Amino acid sequence: MIQYNGLTLAYIGDAYFELRIREYLLSEKYSKVNDLHNNAIKFTSAVNQAIAAKFLINEIYNEEEVSVFKRGRNQNSTHKPKNADVQTYNFATGFEAVIGYLYLNNNVTRLNEIIKKAIEILEENQ
């Protein structure tokens, strides 16, 4: 497999996580697009992804996933975060990098475990 940098992994991880959150919200019987959008933000904002990442890195991630997380978190970006401080944004980028890494490696079982746990964490923190 091609070795992607942390920001590239985060790029695909962000898209995949967003899709999975949208599927989750549809399964929760939200029907209005505005409700779907407002609830999706609760899961996909940098602040909330950082909350999930802080739990996952200490409790769930294996050694390889911690390495990928750090690669995403420590990657220099020219992007300036709009709604979060730099540290929060970097944690969210690390979280997305792990999602992207697992997705690109077709590790569906582990991907599902981590996304399910992230949803549980964020539901508890709402």
Enumerate the active-site residues: 14
Chain-centroid distance of CA 67 in Å reads 15
Reference 105, options 61, 57, 75, 65; nearest CA is: 65
CB atoms within 10 A of CB 13: 27
How far is Cα of residue 118 from the mean position of the Cα atoms in its chain? 8
**Would you give the distance in Å from CA 71 to the centre of its chain?**
14
